[in-house]
A and B are shown apart, each in its own frame.
Chain A
């Protein structure tokens, strides 16, 4: 008798499917009805919410800001996390594992605590501002609250640990023998990085970058706490629309726009990268 082990997958598949799809479907469906406030919707299918989102400069600007801060945070995360991941991956002593464990542990810390840590560091009486002013670099305290730069820093902080962990596994797949061969043939470290490490790490960098970008697009806490009620990303606007204004249909519409935007950006990025790869292959 053949045991159908694959049948065991059905309950977990169904559970995951229901959990992920039902709640989202309710909101997506609601987005196609006119919002009447207080959780009430119209009776007939209507695109009025979508028309409003795509014809109102405020919503379009918010979408643009969301994409912009997420993209900047992604670039910063990759730039800062790659060297860390590379160094840890190439460490031969037990320090590598210790550092890696430290990064894993840091990802367990709730984002609220992390963001408040940033707020305290950048506070007017905080050590950073005191240092900047005492050395004459700045004449008055620099605050990140209520600025787009602050939101980018918050998002970067949120994804940095994840970035290091992802890129660590990417660097580990690059054989050190290739680096040694390049070195033997006289390649300098920058050249070796540009011609050997970066091309080999590129697929992982793109995949990791997209994951970080997707996390930033949906991030609420960093954007809400550091945006200070002055910088709105779509998740902040969705929370405000649903929790404070109790406009479910409009919130559903904004969530749908966010989802579609994320999917489109991911698909377009993959197409672009593939074309670049193909072009490079043809040229080579």
Chain B
């Protein structure tokens, strides 16, 4: 009787072991044995989301992911210093950096046939040189309680930040920060300028009486908490994080010009030409734009997904629904900057001379 029981248990265990061994994941086990993939990206919640959605899958395939954390600008500086021999395989690139990358020969061509998740992406958002990994909706994030106390209506555009009640209570991105160029362009256009004439934007910023030009979006989360600022020009993700941290904040997608309401910037994933882990890098890029990671990234950091399937799912998140623009018709009308038309060096020079109070 006992022997029968043991035999039955062994049979069940054998069957279980066999089924696990033959499962698709285990079949693929070992595909990236011994591969260490280095990803240049931000730290914080961005890295945490990737660690949650991608890293375990890669480790199940035998590989290991290491992060080279830093802003895309800092990572680009590392790339230049290393003369293209990058200390990483995959890099997050800002849309504003694409003209710089076009002048270099640092990126490998992406074999699009090995990135099946491109079927979820808009055609504009990828090509052989990069894969749009996220979008941000650049907004005015404001403290609803302070606005009510001051009797101020919710802002609709940047000029609404020019009011005595908000003197020294505004934070906007420094031009060298991640969102700096996109927001500077938007402010300039909203003020009556254009990509060739940013003087109206500089004048408007000078009228704003800004407390701080932030270099990391996280600074605004702290400043909302400490009561230093009542409004910030910042992407919706930071407003989400400020709300999650307990600040009573809300986003406004600023009116830019005519029917253009709201601003977008986007990031791309590029594979380094110097990478010795091309296949693993391709796998990572594919996973990054997949449904799982895009949803995790959006819900945890407040960035907007490039994956169309995920966009449809975001309406179920009450905070994101409140903070992000999800209407496809309106999304199509948001401002996206064509940096090939921009003399970035000239913008930075004009900004530095005008904004710095030295």
Contact = CB atoms under 8 A, between A and B. Distances in A.
A229 B214 contact: yes
Interface of B: 73-74, 76-77, 80-81, 83, 100, 103-104, 168, 174, 176, 210-215, 222-223, 226-228, 345, 348, 352-353, 355-358
Nearest to B351: A229
B228 A123 contact: yes
Interface stretch (A8-16, A203-211, A236-244, A269-277): A236-244
B226 A232 contact: no
Given A124-B227, A125-B226, A126-B226, A228 B77 contact: no
A89 interface: no
Given A125-B226, A143-B228, A246 B80 contact: yes
A125 B227 contact: yes
Interface in A216-271: 224, 228-232, 240, 242-246, 248
Contacts, number: 83
Contact of A244 (B104, B176, B222, B358): B176
B345 A146 contact: no
Given A146-B211, A146-B212, A231-B358, A120 B226 contact: yes
A228 B211 contact: yes
A170 interface: no
Contacts of A107: none
A246 B355 contact: no
Contact of A58 (B74, B104, B227, B352): B352
A65 interface: yes
B76 A246 contact: yes
12 contacts: A38-B80, A119-B226, A120-B226, A123-B226, A141-B227, A141-B228, A145-B211, A145-B212, A229-B212, A243-B74, A244-B348, A248-B80
A246 B81 CA distance: 9
Interface in A113-158: 119-120, 123-126, 141, 143, 145-146
A39 interface: yes
Contact of A245 (B74, B213, B226, B345): B345
A124 B80 contact: no
A240 B176 contact: yes
A242 B227 contact: no
Interface of A: 37-39, 58, 61-62, 65, 119-120, 123-126, 141, 143, 145-146, 224, 228-232, 240, 242-246, 248
A37 B345 contact: yes
B77 A246 contact: yes
- Give chain A's interface secondary structure class: loop
B227 A232 contact: no
A229 B211 contact: no
Given A125-B226, A143-B211, A230-B357, 11 more contacts: A39-B83, A61-B358, A123-B223, A124-B226, A143-B168, A143-B228, A228-B212, A230-B210, A230-B213, A230-B355, A245-B176
Contacts of B223: 123
Contacts of A145: 211-212, 228
A142 B81 CA distance: 42
A246 B75 CA distance: 11
Contact of B213 (A39, A58, A125, A229): A229
A141 B227 CA distance: 10
Contacts of A243: 73-74, 77
Given A123-B227, A228-B211, A229-B213, A58 B353 contact: yes
A240 B71 CA distance: 13
B140 to A, nearest CB: 18
Nearest to B226: A123
A58 B358 CA distance: 8
Contacts of A228: 211-213
Contacts of B215: 224, 229
A56 to B, nearest CB: 9
A232 B356 contact: yes
B100 A230 contact: no
A211 to B, nearest CB: 26
Contacts of A125: 226-228
Contacts of B352: 58, 232, 240
B249 to A, nearest CB: 15
A145 B353 CA distance: 19
Contacts of B356: 58, 229-232
